[in-house]
A and B are shown apart, each in its own frame.
Chain A
Amino acid sequence: MAKRNILGTAIFDGEAAQKGYALNKMCFSFNSAENRAAFLKDEDGYCRRFGLDDAQMAAVRRRNVLDLIAAGGNIYYLAKLAGILGLSVQDIGAQQTGMSVEAFKAKLLAEGA
């Protein structure tokens, strides 16, 4: 079936879910404080344990959300990784849109005006 193109938006469908399974499974493991600590202690080792591919490993290393999504990451699971890294949803919004965090927050406030 032809996929619908929505500007600046990735649809997390079966193809993405299959591609991103290892990455998302790793992020799902971050519901546990023990696992979060294990990741911080040895990031690459933890990623390898979950079988992340090279693109996923690189995206984790660079903390690049758009790359993580392109590698099959789902934002609900990626949010748990962002939490470990101390990134709020405004931080990751700013990163993805190429704005400063202040500008991103100001844009949200302006939407309410």
Chain B
Amino acid sequence: MALIVGGLGTSHVPAIGGAIARGAQGESYWKPFFDGFDPVHRWLDATKPDVAIIFYNDHGLNFFLDKMPTFAIGVANSYCNADEGWGLPVQRPFRGDPKLSWHLTEALLAEEFDLTTCQEMLVDHAVTVPMSLLWPGVGDRSVAIVPIAVNTVQHPLPSPSRCFKLGKAVGRALDTYPESLNVLVVGSGGLSHQLDGARAGFINKPFDLMCLDKLVDDPEAITRFSVLDLVELAGTQGVEILNWLAMRGALSDRVSKLHCNYHVPISNTASAVLLLG
């Protein structure tokens, strides 16, 4: 069986990728954010996951409005990054684990989660930034990835409850995987931020801190919000917490908070990293 060694939520703002490319991690603006990953690195060195299952949202690199799946899973041997249009260096391809991807697909469809399967899937900053944060430098390509995309672009979006249940189904699917494998589950995005509209720059620290707290012991409290509640409380892009809910769903009911860092702002965003195990 595949063993979930932990779950991690992290922000994925493109500016983080820019800061990494410039080597700006030590600058006073960025240090409080990047320092928040030191304990994560020590933990990853000790736990050595083989695979990262990453719940993320595509921002118009792989998917466009012509075909917009609510949930999509990568089933490829490898995943390329590409030019997103505003200058982030293109990252080297990531290794996939198609055997695990297809096992998840079979198990999820059997539970009536009908995901779009992708044998070719470009992964954008919502995958590359977390991977660069977790395994800095050139990136540790020894860790394979299974990307699972959640639509946060075009409403209606899947509900918080549905995303949490999707995560739970992923957790159950890992229990029945025939191979022995250490898995890290990642939720990418958030926390509160809004790029568009007259309310651009909106950040809600009390709501974020409540979510970081509830994600540990009572994630279902967050699933009681609707998507539009999340838009109102966390901003139009704050809905990316849907990816965190899916991550949390995959973990055991009882988990411990191993590490948390919350820092405002990076770019227009309230940033966070939360490690659960």
Contact = CB atoms under 8 A, between A and B. Distances in A.
B83 A31 contact: yes
Interface string A2-24: 00101111111110010001001
B268 to A, nearest CB: 5
Contact of B200 (A25, A96, A109): A96
B196 A13 contact: no
Interface residues of A, number: 46
Contacts of A21: 65
A42 interface: no
B125 to A, nearest CB: 11
Chain A: interface secondary structure? Answer: helix
Interface string A77-91: 111101110000110
A83 B85 contact: yes
Contact of B196 (A65, A83, A90): A65
Given A13-B156, A74-B154, A75-B236, A107 B199 contact: no
B153 A76 contact: yes
Interface in A52-67: 65-66
B155 interface: yes
Which of the listed residues B59, B194, B197, B231 has the most CB atoms from chain A within 10 Å of its own CB? B197
Interface of B is mostly: loop
A96 to B, nearest CB: 5
B196 A28 contact: no
B236 A24 contact: no
Contacts of B196: 9-10, 65, 69, 75, 78, 96
Q: How large is the interface on B (under 10, 10 to 19, 20 to 34, 35 or more residues)?
A: 35 or more
A9 B201 contact: no
A79 B201 contact: no
Interface of A: 4, 6-14, 17, 21, 24-25, 27-28, 30-33, 36, 65-66, 69, 74-80, 82-84, 89-90, 92-93, 96-97, 104, 107-109, 111-112
Interface of B: 15, 59-61, 64-66, 82-87, 153-156, 194-203, 205, 228, 231-232, 236-237, 263-265, 267-268, 270
Given A10-B197, A84-B85, 19 more contacts: A8-B198, A8-B199, A9-B194, A17-B65, A28-B64, A28-B65, A30-B85, A31-B61, A32-B83, A66-B198, A75-B236, A83-B87, A89-B267, A107-B201, A108-B203, A108-B268, A111-B203, A111-B264, A112-B265
